[in-house]
Amino acid sequence: MKLRHIPLLFLMGFILFPCLGVAEIKFSDRIEEYSLDNEMKVILIQDKRSPIVVSSLWYKVGSSFEYPGVTGISHILEHMMFKGTTTTEAGEFSRIIKQLGGSENAFTGRDFTGYYQKVHKDYLETCLKYESDRMVNLMLNQEDLRTEREVVKEERRLRTEDNPSSKAYEKIGMQIFGLQKYGIPIIGTMEDISNITHRI
C-alpha cells in the first residue's frame, strides 16, 4: 500500500464511525424487554420491512453446566426436544413449520441451548403454542434416546473425531480448563454419549 493512501483511509474511518454509531442507536431503540409472570424474559426487536417473524427460545443451560460422566446431555436433550410430547407426535412440530413455509433449527452452546422458527408473522402464535407444549409435555422414551445417541455419536465422529482442527480445538479447551465447565466438549465425550439414559 502506498503511503499517500493512508490519509484517505483515516478520512474514510472518520466518516464511517459516526454512521455506525447512529445505526447502533437506532437498533437499540427498537429493543423492548418484558418479563412474564413465570419470570421468562421476552426480548422483542421489531423490523416491519418484511412480514416474517423469528421466534427464538433460549434456555440458560449448556455444556458448562455438565460434569464428567454426563457430558453431552444438553446436546442430546436438544435432539430429544423434536421427539414429541404427550399431545403431539414425534416430528409434528417440524412438519407443521414446513407446511407453513417456514424453517426451524436448534443449537447448543456452552451457556445456552436455543430453538428457533422463522415463519410468516401470522403463524407466530402456532410456534409459541408448540414451543410451550414441548417445554412442559416433552416425552423421553428409551427407544428415541437410543436412536438419538447413535445420531449424536455419528455427529461427533464427523465433526470432531475425523476433523483434525476440531479435535485440536477440543484438546486445547481441555488443557486450559480441564474436564469441567468450559473444557467440556459441547457434544460430549463418546463414552458419556453412549451411557446417557432417560433416567439421568
Task: Kindly list the catalytic residues.
Answer: 78
- For residue 111, the number of C-alpha atoms closer than 13 Å in the C-beta half-sphere is 0
Of 90, 63, 57, 58, the closest CA to residue 76 belongs to 63
- State whether residue 44 is helix, strand or coil: strand
d(CA 98, CA 107): 19
- State whether residue 42 is helix, strand or coil: strand
Segment holding 103, helix H or strand E: strand 103-108
Q: Is the Cα torsion angle 176, 178, 182, 185 positive or negative in sign?
A: positive
35, β-bridge pairs: 41
